[in-house]
Structure 1
Amino acid sequence: MQLQGIGIGQGIALGPVARMAGPLPEPVDRPSHLDAEREGERARASLSVVAEELNRRGAQAGGAAQDILEAQAMMAEDPTLTDDITTRLATGKTAERAVFEAFASFRDLLAGMGGYMGERAADLDDVAQRVIAHLLKVPAPGLPDPGHPYVLVARDLAPADTAMLDLDQVLALVTTDGGPTSHTAILARDKAIVAVVGAADAASLGDGDAVIVDAENGVVVAAPSEAELAEARARVEERKTRAAAPLTPGQLADGTLVPLLANLGSADGAPAALEAGAEGVGLFRTEFLFLDAQSAPTVRDQQAQYTRLLQAFSGKKVVVRVLDAGADKPLAFLNDADEENPALGLRGIRALRSNETILREQLTALAAADAATDADLWVMAPMVANAEEARYFTDLAHELGIRMAGVMVEVPSAALLADRVLAATGFASIGTNDLTQYTMAADRLLGSVSRFQSPWHPAVLSLVGSVGAAGRDLGKPVGICGEAAADPLLAVVLVGLGATTLSMSPSALADVRASLARFTLDDAHAIAEAALAADGAAEAQAAAKSVAAGLTAVVASAT
């Protein structure tokens, strides 16, 4: 039986299912048959056990995960929460109910504070669930620990869940919710985990069920036959061989160069990207310097981080995106005003323009880092909607010492008027995640509309083609830095539509490099035309696969 979903990457894995336990129901508010002292002993014991377990897991995980889990352990032993629980127990409540109410009250307090503290509210929910589970003597919600490698099946993964993900044990991820740009999908790409998301029927899978997770075809095969298992094992070995192949520049079969670049969120990822064969950086997200801060970092602090990045990619192209805040990333010092629809509000270049000092300082820091290193620095603005915004950013960047300034094309208007936008700036980089969101009117964070979030949709591809054509006519580079570039076949389509570089999670580089090498530029044009002629995303992907398979067969017969 095949369960359909959205595949992330080209991987394939096989193994037994282990399901993530769902959230516990709210404890019933009923009088306890024990006295307050006994209930207090139960509550304190469970709080202590949970804190100890979180600290243990943190020590095993190390790094950022350890920081997250140790912070959760401190929540479990917070004196304020303990006092609140004791007060509620004195009224005759059970330990389960008192823990639930105390944590919920504190959660609401943190949520109301917003910013960093608001984000910790979800961590409180996780701790409360673990304490209540221990009190009830039932498995805690969250990641399973079956004691052997497994395929994780879940509704979706919260950020806190990912901190405890043991990549030596998790063979693949399958979620019933989520789309290609969900947190789980992004994690899977970043960590090179085989994944199929949005497979609603996966809810029927049980612990121990044998499955094949085929990301390339977006399916989960339940109760596979021996023939299906043999084919899956062969494909696993084939991918291992491909990953071990010598690193070469990204290029098509006819020698057309298509530089393959990495998407990075901090300079810490540079060594792994270079080891995977990244020829530079196509998207460096600078938000890590600003998030959770109460004020913008200084020019000196920023310059130090940018210099570190540029030194790691000495002699290579590095494309940096200036601060992209707003929507799901509000900042207290930039744009924390409540908006009815923040995805359509003051974000990206709009927010920076209304706080130009922050933009000027960032550009100044980047120019200084560029002057101190020999990397090829390009800087781009996010969420540009028209030529006037492109001109504003480009002029300001040049004024402050940036040699190569460009824009991101994420808003359909910028794609529709790409000839005018590119005439006003040096290059364009297409952010396919947001371009798909705005083209299809489907929130990229909302699982209920995930079927509309595919960059394979001909409407999205048509806009990409408009930008590619404008770039070709004006002699301006056009890159892709959205996650669409990580799909090996879609990468070929994007090149056929005019993309001159592709940027992706480093884990996707090997598959994309191998895919490009199978086709000529004429082939890429033919595959792209087939996708554009389709009516929907699934049809476009199927049409591209069909044409690609035919072209591959012709090459095979000729040799």
Structure 2
Amino acid sequence: MRVSGTGIGTGIAIGPVVRMPDPLPDPADVPSTIGADAERQRAQRALRAVAAELRRRGGLAGGAASEVLEAQAMFAEDPMLEGDVDARIASGKTADRAVHEAYAAYRAQLVALGGYMAERAVDVDDVSQRVVAEVLGVQAPGVPHPGHPFVLVARDLAPADTATLDLDQVLALVTIGGGPTSHTAILARDKAIVAVVAAEGASALSDDDEVIVDAENDVLVLAPTAAERAEAEARRAERDARRAAPLTPGRLADGTAVPLLANLGSADAAAGAVAAGAEGVGLFRTEFLFLEATSAPTVAEQQLEYGRLLQAFDGKKVVVRVLDAGADKPLAFLHDDTGHEDNPALGLRGIRALRAHEQILRDQLTALAAADAETNAELWVMAPMVATVEEAEYFTALARELGIRTPGVMIEVPSAALLADRMLQATDFASIGTNDLTQYTLAADRLLGSVAALQSPWNPAVLRLIAEVGAAGRGLGKPVGICGEAAADPLLAVVLVGLGATSLSMSSAAIADVRASLLRFDAAQAAAMADLALAAVGAAEAHSAVRAFAAGIAARDGDG
């Protein structure tokens, strides 16, 4: 039996299934016997404890997990939710029942909003369960510990659990729901966990079923034959050998340089990126400085953090994205006067929000320029969600005015890709964010599992837009990087180079696999693979055609 899903990375694992346990039952709706003040104290202690525990886990996990768990901790500290809990306690509810009802009501609001906000319902459920368990003094549902290595199968997994999985025990992760850019998928990629998500057929799996989790081929193999097991073991050993190979700069087989850079969310992750072989930073997300703040951080506070990052990459390129707020990252001091947006992904986000509050952008650019002046890294700074040439001109002019030597733009919406030649005339470089470019091209929310099948950067429509940007870069002699998750797909990475990408940026855990993949092909073969993908009618067909081409080259080289 084979179950299809969406693989994260190229890993493969074999082992017995262990299902995620069911959540806690709903607390009984019975009157309090200890009074409202005592119940309120129980609820407040539990809320504070859960927030602290989520932050502790985030600190231990680091990387993308720290950002995700920080966002989840904020649910436990939300004044509106706490006020709702207090009101329910005042009406006679117990603390556990009040928490359950308040979070259930909030969950219903998120689901009604749809899109990304509906996907956050999983995070709300997890916080609710943890707080209720803390109130009752019982163990919150979480990852089981059967005492042996296993493949974890879950409807979906809370960020707090994904971030702290014991990778000596959890061989692979399979989720029935979710999508390729859900929090589960993002954290699995960040931690190099073998994973297949959006595998609806996995609901039929039972504890102790033996499965092969084949992320590269987007499939689960139930009750594998001896031959299938042997092939999987050989592929796993081959991948382990690749990952243990010496660290070398990224390049194609003919020596064409393709710098491999890291996507980072804080300076704390710099050492890990360097150890993984990152040649610099292709995307530094600055949101971590702003998410917890009630007001924008000062120039001095920002300069200190940017300086830490630049010092860690002395002499290397570091590409910083200015604040990308809006959509899934609303900030009170940036969006308090904009009102409710029914579809914030299409609203006042990225460069649009920064232009509406230009002083925040000016302060950030000033801090970056000051940090650059004190260090020896090669600082590039780019604006997010640029949709028009005028926006590119605005950002480039302002950045240069404030001392940024190499300004650029992100290509995340089709309009920017289609006008790439004029965009690149207005600025110094472009970096393609394939996650957003895919969702906007296919009109498929990148965090919505129900449209996961459409969220593939292998789609020829997406690749055609990338090709437009690559051609513009070649024509004007300007760099075009890829900083979306597509760069972490080892085979797609080769296609992206064939389309004109001059550098690739990804999670540190993906660098070894991408480096090994690039070394298998020369520039002509990369271009041929790009042509095959562009000629396909859909994502699956593009992937299949390129995979067959690559297999042919491998077979020929093996015969040779």
Give the 5 Å matches for 1:98-497: 99-105=96-102, 122=125, 124-128=127-131, 130=133, 141-336=141-336, 337-497=339-499
Determine if contact 2:50/2:73 at 8 Å carries over to the other structure. Answer: no
CA distance in 1, matches of 2:475, 2:291: 39
Indicate how the Cα distance of structure 1 residues 183 and 73 shifts in structure 2: closer, same or farther if over 3 A, else same: closer
State the SS of the aligned residue for 2:224: coil
Determine if contact 1:107/1:124 at 8 Å carries over to the other structure. Answer: no
State the SS of the aligned residue for 1:333: helix
Indicate how the Cα distance of structure 1 residues 86 and 303 shifts in structure 2: closer, same or farther if over 3 A, else same: closer
Deviations 1:373-408 (A, max 9, x none): 000000000000121111110111111100000000
Indicate how the Cα distance of structure 1 residues 61 and 418 shifts in structure 2: closer, same or farther if over 3 A, else same: closer
1:546 is displaced (CA, Å) by 1.1
CA distance in 1, matches of 2:420, 2:48: 54
* Aligned residue identity for 2:254: D
Q: In the comparison of the two structures, how many residue pairs are matched?
A: 538
Determine if contact 1:24/1:133 at 8 Å carries over to the other structure. Answer: no
1:235 is displaced (CA, Å) by 1.9
TM-score by length of 2: 0.87
* Aligned residue identity for 1:219: V
Determine if contact 2:283/2:318 at 8 Å carries over to the other structure. Answer: yes
Percent of residue pairs bearing the same amino acid type: 64
Q: What is the root-mean-square deviation in Å for CA atoms of aligned residues?
A: 3.6
Indicate how the Cα distance of structure 1 residues 63 and 390 shifts in structure 2: closer, same or farther if over 3 A, else same: same
TM-score by length of 1: 0.87
Match of 2:60 among 58, 63, 66: 63
1:545 is displaced (CA, Å) by 0.6
Indicate how the Cα distance of structure 1 residues 299 and 225 shifts in structure 2: closer, same or farther if over 3 A, else same: same
CA distance in 1, matches of 2:53, 2:359: 45
- In the alignment, structure 1 residue 520 sits paired with structure 2 residue 517: no
Indicate how the Cα distance of structure 1 residues 269 and 79 shifts in structure 2: closer, same or farther if over 3 A, else same: same
Indicate how the Cα distance of structure 1 residues 331 and 86 shifts in structure 2: closer, same or farther if over 3 A, else same: closer
Determine if contact 1:72/1:127 at 8 Å carries over to the other structure. Answer: no
CA distance in 1, matches of 2:487, 2:176: 24
Which residue of structure 1 lines up, in the alignment, with residue 114 of structure 2? none
Which residue of structure 1 lines up, in the alignment, with residue 116 of structure 2? none
Which residue of structure 2 lines up, in the alignment, with residue 544 of structure 1? 546
CA distance in 1, matches of 2:555, 2:479: 32
State the SS of the aligned residue for 2:269: helix
* Aligned residue identity for 1:277: G
State the SS of the aligned residue for 1:334: helix
Larger radius of gyration: 1
* Aligned residue identity for 1:531: A
Deviations 1:277-327 (A, max 9, x none): 000000000000001211000000000000000000000000000000000
* Aligned residue identity for 1:335: H
CA distance in 2, matches of 1:86, 1:360: 47
Determine if contact 1:52/1:73 at 8 Å carries over to the other structure. Answer: no
CA distance in 2, matches of 1:388, 1:51: 46
Determine if contact 2:130/2:140 at 8 Å carries over to the other structure. Answer: no
1:163 is displaced (CA, Å) by 4.6
1:223 is displaced (CA, Å) by 1.2
CA distance in 2, matches of 1:6, 1:163: 20
1:26 is displaced (CA, Å) by 4.1
1:111 is displaced (CA, Å) by 11
State the SS of the aligned residue for 1:295: coil
* Aligned residue identity for 1:412: P
Indicate how the Cα distance of structure 1 residues 109 and 240 shifts in structure 2: closer, same or farther if over 3 A, else same: closer
Deviations 1:129-174 (A, max 9, x none): 5369988xxx854322223222111122232333543333221111
CA distance in 2, matches of 1:23, 1:149: 23
Deviations 1:498-520 (A, max 9, x none): 00000000100000000000001
Deviations 1:195-245 (A, max 9, x none): 011111001111121111111111111111222222222222221211111
Which residue of structure 2 lines up, in the alignment, with residue 10 of structure 1? 10
Indicate how the Cα distance of structure 1 residues 70 and 198 shifts in structure 2: closer, same or farther if over 3 A, else same: closer
